[in-house]
Amino acid sequence: MMLVRSYVRGREISRSALILAMLVAMLFFFAVPANAESNGVTSTDVSFLGDGDVTLHGTIVAPSSTGKHYPGVVMVGGAGPVKRDDFQDEAEAFAKLGIVTLIYDKRSIGYSMLHRDYSILANDAIAGMQLLRAQKNVDPDKVGIFGLSEGAWVAPLAAKQAPETAFVIAAGAVGVSPARQQAWAYGEFLRHAGVTGSFLKMMQVNGIRQLVDAGLFTQHDYDPVPSWEQVHQPVLALWGALDREAVPEESSHIIQQALERGGNTLYTIAFIEGARHNLNVTFNGGFDRPNELADGFVDTVGSWVNSLAQSAPIISVHVAPHQDRQSVAIMPLSRLESGWLQIGALLIFIIAFSSYPLVALYRIVFKRRSAVLAQLPARWLVAVGLTTVLGFVIYFLFTVVTAANLIGPVVLGQPIPWLVLRLLAVATIVLTIFTFASWRRNLHQITGGVRIQLFLLALAGVVFIPWAFYWGLLI
């Protein structure tokens, strides 16, 4: 029996050891080390200090072969909290073509949607280029910068501040101010959705101007032209032929003219067929967002960068796709449009429309009599008026946050939420008239407290009409 038990126990120990060994092997197989190799490229996690000694985390993606010195590029992303994973496909594709690529997480310290400084982002990119130059497999004289969208505002700044930058690649670069570009993009997406009329005009004109005045559109008037005039390195400027965000035809001409004014004759301007703003493929004319690199993009970048080793590029310009509509300069607000007046109007509406139910609740709790306060038109007025005002603010801000990509179904050229708000605006005016007509028939019942409410509602009604016209609710 002892021999049998020992044999069984030995089998159990052997089985446990085998299972443990298999688990350890699986951990080694699935773990991602600091330097991992797959598909002919290596990925190495790195950290470096950006502007203000902020630690930035990134990954260097390089060809797996050793003993060579490759060109290098630092990739700078677009607006928002860009992560290195957003550029993983591009980095691996570049590495396969012999370009060592640094991708990194954009800083969260000193950068937000309400606070941007392109000079700070440029200094981060410069620090990234310094890190690449120190790599054993990188030719320090062939390290450049790639900027996409917002990053294409950063790239020329970095090249200007760091003359040792070997080249500049700008993808989806914008040659006009951010506010002007955004207004144009609103028009592109809204017209594509079938929107016409007051909502379209509101978003492109008064909406964008109010955002600028309220300080919610940081760097709204940034002019990229002076930095492009001071870029003397070879430049590859790329746009998707179906770019609906970067004002591509205008931007390509503006940037080309800026380079020529600065004496730069080492530039290539090209458009990638079938590509949208970020040079990914599009199946809906540039208005969808599939996550797949467009054909020709990677090869264009790879061949251009690798050709720099043989000779300097010569001027090469593709014909820009025609824009149906040009961008329009953003005019400042007049005194009668100021943000403070807009805030004042909203406060009047909220106080006037909210006072009615609050006072009614007070009278119910403390059993105060008031026949006038129970009238039906007044009840409907406060409900409809408050819904109209708050509904407009919420829908407007939601459209801004989603860049006019999620506006809801469109009927008769108007998004259904906007159509509802317009009907509510008309109802607010009609109910205001009925409410005061009803109060006029009951003048003998109006007390001091009701007079205050009457004054507030009258003020709200008077202010509401020009306010609703200004925002397009009554047009």
Whether 462 maps to a domain, the answer reads yes
241 and 284 share a domain?
yes
Residue 29 reports pLDDT greater than 80: no
CA distances from 161 to 155, 164, 231, 259, 262 (A): 10, 9, 9, 16, 15
For residue 368, the model assigns a pLDDT of 55
Whether the Cβ atoms of residue 196 and residue 264 lie closer than 8 Å to each other: no
Task: Calculate ∠ Cα 243-249-254, nearest 5°.
Answer: 125
For residue 310, the model assigns a pLDDT of 72
For residue 28, the model assigns a pLDDT of 32
62 and 150 share a domain?
yes
Other CB atoms within 10 Å distance of the CB of residue 173: 31
DSSP state of 157: H
For residue 25, the model assigns a pLDDT of 38
For residue 361, the model assigns a pLDDT of 57
Q: Map residue 112 onto helix, strand or coil.
A: strand
For residue 447, the model assigns a pLDDT of 59
Task: Calculate ∠ Cα 227-122-328, nearest 5°.
Answer: 45
256 and 110 share a domain?
yes
Residue 35 reports pLDDT greater than 90: no
- Percent of the chain's residues with pLDDT above 70: 84
Q: pLDDT band at 99, cuts 50/70/90?
A: very high
For residue 8, the model assigns a pLDDT of 32
Taking only the tens place, the pLDDT of each residue in 294-347 is: 999 999 999 999 988 776 666 677 888 888 899 999 999 998 899 999 999 999
Whether 261 maps to a domain, the answer reads yes
Instruction: Give the sign of the dihedral formed by CA 434, CA 440, CA 446, CA 451.
Output: positive
Q: What is the mean pLDDT of residues 205-222?
A: 92
Whether 237 maps to a domain, the answer reads yes
Residue 12 reports pLDDT greater than 70: no
Residues 6+ away with beta carbon under 8 Å from 28: none
For residue 359, the model assigns a pLDDT of 59
HEC per residue, 201-238:
HHHHHHHHHHHHHCCCCCCCCCCCHHHHHCCCCCEEEE
For residue 22, the model assigns a pLDDT of 42
Q: pLDDT band at 36, cuts 50/70/90?
A: low
Q: pLDDT band at 216, cuts 50/70/90?
A: confident
Residue 159 belongs to domain with CATH number = 3.40.50.1820
Whether 95 maps to a domain, the answer reads yes
Taking only the tens place, the pLDDT of each residue in 157-178 is: 999 999 999 999 999 999 999 9
Residue 2 reports pLDDT greater than 80: no
Taking only the tens place, the pLDDT of each residue in 375-418 is: 667 778 888 999 999 999 999 999 999 999 999 999 999 999 99
With tokens 């010195």, the residue in question is 69
Whether 2 maps to a domain, the answer reads yes
51 and 8 share a domain?
no
Whether 213 maps to a domain, the answer reads no
State residue 379 phi and psi, 5-degree precision: -60, -45
Instruction: Give the sign of the dihedral formed by CA 410, CA 415, CA 420, CA 425.
Output: negative
267 and 347 share a domain?
no
For residue 367, the model assigns a pLDDT of 56
Residues 6+ away with beta carbon under 8 Å from 444: none
How far apart, in whole angstroms, are the C-alpha atoms of residue 267 and residue 232?
9
Q: Where are the beta strands (DSSP E) in 40-97?
A: 41-49, 55-63, 70-76
Residue 360 reports pLDDT greater than 80: no
Residue 184 reports pLDDT greater than 70: yes
Whether the Cβ atoms of residue 186 and residue 245 lie closer than 8 Å to each other: no
Helix axes 339-365, 448-470, angle to 10 degrees: 150
404 and 276 share a domain?
no
For residue 38, the model assigns a pLDDT of 61
24 and 49 share a domain?
no
CA distances from 5 to 13, 14, 16 (A): 12, 14, 16
Q: What is the mean pLDDT of residues 289-295?
A: 93
Better-scored residue on pLDDT, 473 or 18: 473
How far apart, in whole angstroms, are the C-alpha atoms of residue 426 and residue 433?
11
User: What residue numbers bound the domain in which 22 lies?
Assistant: 1-31
How far apart, in whole angstroms, are the C-alpha atoms of residue 167 and residue 150?
18
Q: What is the mean pLDDT of residues 199-212?
A: 96
256 and 300 share a domain?
yes
Residues 6+ away with beta carbon under 8 Å from 392: 421, 471, 473
Count the domains in the chain.
3
Better-scored residue on pLDDT, 375 or 85: 85
67 and 99 share a domain?
yes
How far apart, in whole angstroms, are the C-alpha atoms of residue 240 and residue 171?
8
Residue 245 reports pLDDT greater than 50: yes
How far apart, in whole angstroms, are the C-alpha atoms of residue 359 and residue 365?
10
With tokens 């294409």, the residue in question is 152
Q: pLDDT band at 83, cuts 50/70/90?
A: very high
Q: pLDDT band at 106, cuts 50/70/90?
A: very high
46 and 158 share a domain?
yes
Q: Residue 193: name the closest of 399, 420, 475, 471 by CA.
A: 399
For residue 198, the model assigns a pLDDT of 95
348 and 439 share a domain?
yes
Residue 32 reports pLDDT greater than 50: no
Q: pLDDT band at 234, cuts 50/70/90?
A: very high
Q: What is the token pair recorded at 311? A: 């000779």
116 and 259 share a domain?
yes
The pLDDT mean for the chain works out to 86
For residue 374, the model assigns a pLDDT of 45
Taking only the tens place, the pLDDT of each residue in 369-378 is: 554 444 667 7
Better-scored residue on pLDDT, 315 or 202: 202
Whether 379 maps to a domain, the answer reads yes
Better-scored residue on pLDDT, 449 or 52: 52
Tell me which of 160-164, 222-226, 284-288, 438-442 is least confident. 438-442
